[in-house]
Amino acid sequence: MRTWSLLLSVLLALVLLLPAHPQAVVAAMEPTLSIVPDKTVTLTFDDGPDPRYTPAILDMLKKRHLQATFFIVGRNAIEHPDLVRRIERDGHTIANHTLTHPHLEQLTLTQVNAELQGGDAALTSVLGPTFPIPHFFRPPRGNVSQAILETTENMHKQLILWNVCVENHSTTTPDQVEARVMDLIRERHGGILLAHDGELDRSLTVQSLPRILDDLQREGYHIVTLQEYLDRQTTKEAR
């Protein structure tokens, strides 16, 4: 099941990264890595906000003048509205990560729709009616289903997965996390980096991130917003 969902995620990433029809996915498998814009990284955070980790992450981003995308869980937004407002005030992109972070791929179309609408509604209730409805959506655990794809399309959202995840069961110290993440990023010449700022114990993430951000900046990676990352990708494909 895990392998299958991983494979599905990879296939989906291809569908999403290329303006292609699903039939073209297999043909497009080979140059997967080359579609990451050269030495460009975008930072994304899932599962927050959480007062244990989000403020520290916001501080480290601010210190380095970096902007990220926060895929926020609606119920956490309602619980910690001040943190959501700070994320917005700091200029980061706010995105939808459902209302309750369920196993979305197991839900019906109506239930999936309610989770996405609920996520948007939670953010609007905290940020006010003038706040634009989030364009980006990431399904919990990166799992997808027909109902998720259909709902995302109906709501005119863009489904975003990732290339490199900071958290991994094989790494248990900041040194190990840094080494693994940087190896993967160098291999891919950049990518969408996923880290988590809520739900579980994320202290290792908070300890490791400054090292990763320092490495990226020292090695000349462009750390850009998600929209800019996607724009660069499109430009590269158009060449």
Choosing from 46, 47, 50, 120, which is the catalytic residue?
46
Q: Give the residue, chosen from 49, 134, 139, 140, that forms a contact with Zn ion under the rule CB under 5 A.
A: 140
* 90, two tokens: 């700091």
Q: Which residue matches tokens 């291809």?
A: 14
Residue nearest Zn ion, Cβ-based: 46
Clarify whether 197 is annotated catalytic. no
From 37-45, 126-134, 140-148, 149-157, span contacting Zn ion (CB under 5 A): 140-148
46 contacts Zn ion (rule: CB under 5 A): yes
Tell me which residue of 55, 100, 95 sits closest to 71, measured CA to CA.
95
**Does 120 qualify as catalytic in the annotation?**
no
Residues 115, 106: Cα–Cα separation, whole Å = 12
- Residue 46 or 105: the one with the smaller Cβ distance to Zn ion is 46
From the list 47, 97, 196, 197, the catalytic residue is: 196
- Is position 74 an interface residue for Zn ion (rule: CB under 5 A)? no
50 is an interface residue for Zn ion by CB under 5 A = no
Size of the site for Zn ion (CB under 5 A): 3
By CB under 5 A, residue 47 contacts Zn ion:
yes
54-63 helix and 81-89 helix, angle to the nearest 10 degrees: 10
User: Judged by CB under 5 A, which stretch of 43-51, 154-162, 202-210, 221-229 contacts Zn ion?
Assistant: 43-51
| CA pair distance 172, 179, nearest whole angstrom | 11
- Give the CB-side neighbour count of residue 75, counting CA atoms within 13 A: 8
Q: Residue 76 contacts by C-beta under 8 Å, 6 or more apart in sequence? A: 47, 48, 49, 50, 198
Interface positions with Zn ion (CB under 5 A) = 46-47, 140
What are the catalytic residues?
Answer: 46, 196
